[in-house]
Amino acid sequence: MTNTTLQYYTSKHTNTMHSHIPFHYNAMTKPRTLNLTFFMQDIQIFEIFLAVLVFLLIHSLRQKRLHGLVVWPVLGMVPSLVTGLRTNLYEWITEALKRQNGTFRFKGPCFSNLNCIVTADPRNMEHLLKTKFPLFPKGGYFRNTVRDLLGDGIFNADDDTWQKQRKIASIEFHSTKFRQLTTESLFELVHYRLLPVLEASVKKSVAIDLQDILLRLTFDNVCMIAFGVDPGCLRLGLPKIPFAKAFEDATEATVFRFVTPTCVWKAMRLLNLGVERKLKKSIKGVDEFAENVIRTRKKELSLQCEDTKNRSDLLTVFMRLKDENGRPYSDKFLRDICVNFILAGRDTSSVALSWFFWLLEQNPEVEENILAEICMLVSQRNDIKREEFDNSLRFRPEEIKKMDYLHAALSEALRLYPSVPVDHKEVVKDDTFPDGTVLKKGTKVIYAIYAMGRMESIWGKDWKEFKPERWLRDGRFMSESAYKFTAFNGGPRLCLGKDFAYYQMKYAAASIIFRYRVKVVENHPVEPKLALTMYMKHGLKVNLYRRDVAQIHRHLGRVQIN
């Protein structure tokens, strides 16, 4: 190879090598540069996302300090509400109210029906239930939500419709015939149904669901009063009554409408889906029962027999009356009247008694005081005999009325576990609460009765204690203001059946306590159920034990019994 050739070859090879080196270098480094660019972009996106997240968190916490609950963009307080629904909604509301000194504004999504004022302030209660009563009706939202079940009955009605029903019912509730009907029917149910059912469980040594038993008792009782019929729920063997099951399912399904956007539940109703399908089916069962009773009663009244002339149940009373046009009330109106009174009379007393017996087991000294009061009152009879005292005691109405400590204990149970835990109003004209809360027309107001019983500002530092003595003055029961203790509502809508409810609860409670010790089954879960009334979610499973006669005689002291 010549030098020229060698130079050519070397030059060509060198140029070739040099020309390839930059090529290989670019191919290797370009992806790295791109990866680095993308990595830097990822860091920037992450930083932006983190900054937004921190901002939302700080903003939400600031909103929580201002409003009591975290307020999320678009969703408002709904995420917090979901948490409440998954735990104990009534406790969740209570804690929010405590953080906000008794009143807070719930903010839902702007497209929802969940925006409202929630309050447990006694000043506000008196304002909306009494002072400015005309400005706070039930309102269109409430009526539309529960109309499928309650129709235009007294619970759901406003204005003239409500006033008309209340006036007629008030006259009947205070009539001698009606009072006699209620006391006689209760006496029969307690002694010939309730006590035999309880005694059967003792003999068999089996646990029973006391809440179910009490619901059957009050259901039979209120059907006798409202319809003048005996459904026979509380019989040995505890038969299934389709109407009772349908009624309970309907009340449970109805309450879910209050925590569901209106457009959603109306769409579900239209498509017959989910809870709305259950509600439709259960209301059909309620309607069938009511229609059958109304049809039967009309036939009885047309015969004009002596038995129908003496009837004093609400259905018969309303059937004998005329509307503003001089015509008999429609079957739909009669159905609504009776269904509303069943809701009022069945659930409230039985639910209150269930919580009462649960609290009583945790406070044996209260049970002992109630037993002492019962024995003291009965021992004052001139004609009492030992055998009657031991085995077949029947309380007299005047004795029940004098049971002040028992009355106080039941009130204390209702303070902590009111049968109706929350209620609803709607503002029809701009107004302002005494605590300064501004109310715009159309605002929904929720007054939290459950929360009121847990406010230290209302009941003092010992609010957690089950303490009947807080209701007594020199041994006599003294009621609290209806705007502090709102278990029976207040103002013009104060519960018409309040006196009867106390009599019913006292009679049933005294009859049980005198004969049995009630012990809740170990590890039985007790928590409230989300419904129109505050059922125990899992019932109240208990074992009953016969009361030791020696314990009763100890309370008699030196009283001589023949």
Length of the chain: 562
Inter-residue contact 403 to 506 (CB < 8 Å): yes
Instruction: Select from 274, 197, 288, 207 the least CA-distant residue to 246.
Output: 288
272: left (phi over 0), alpha (psi -120 to 50) or beta: left
Strand ranges inside 388-492, DSSP E:
422-426, 431-432, 438-439, 444-448, 472-473, 476-477
Any residues with CB less than 8 A from the CB of 468 and at least 6 apart, and which?
A: 366, 369, 405, 408, 409, 411, 412
Phi and psi torsions of 432, nearest 5°: -140, 135
Residue 478 three-state SS: coil
Q: What is the 3-state secondary structure (H, E, C) of 334-396?
A: HHHHHHHHHHHHHHHHHHHHHHHHHHHHHCHHHHHHHHHHHHHHHCCCCCCCHHHHHHCCCCC
Inter-residue contact 450 to 534 (CB < 8 Å): yes
Distance from the Cα of residue 356 to its chain's centroid: 15
Strand arrangement of the beta sheet that strand 541-546 belongs to: 208-209, 541-546, 516-520
According to DSSP, residue 519 is labeled E
CA distances (Å), origin 434, targets 113, 128, 453: 25, 10, 20
CA distance 175 to 312: 9
Annotated binding residues for heme, written as ranges, equal 495
Neighbours of 540 (CB within 10 A): 24
| Residue at 395: amino acid letter | F
**Exposed e or buried b for every residue in 381-413, given b needs 16+ CB within 10 A?**
eeebeeeebeeebebeeebbebbbbbbbbbbbb
CA distance 13 to 4: 14
Annotated binding residues, written as ranges, equal 495
CA distances (Å), origin 110, targets 76, 78, 113, 334: 8, 11, 8, 39
Parallel, antiparallel or unpaired: strands 516-520 and 422-426: unpaired
Inter-residue contact 343 to 155 (CB < 8 Å): yes
Token pair of 88, please?
């104990």
Residue 423 three-state SS: strand
CA distance 451 to 30: 67
Inter-residue contact 363 to 545 (CB < 8 Å): no
Any residues with CB less than 8 A from the CB of 114 and at least 6 apart, and which?
A: 76, 78, 81, 106, 108, 259, 261
Question: If you compute the radius of gyration of the chain from its CA atoms, what whole number of angstroms results?
Answer: 34
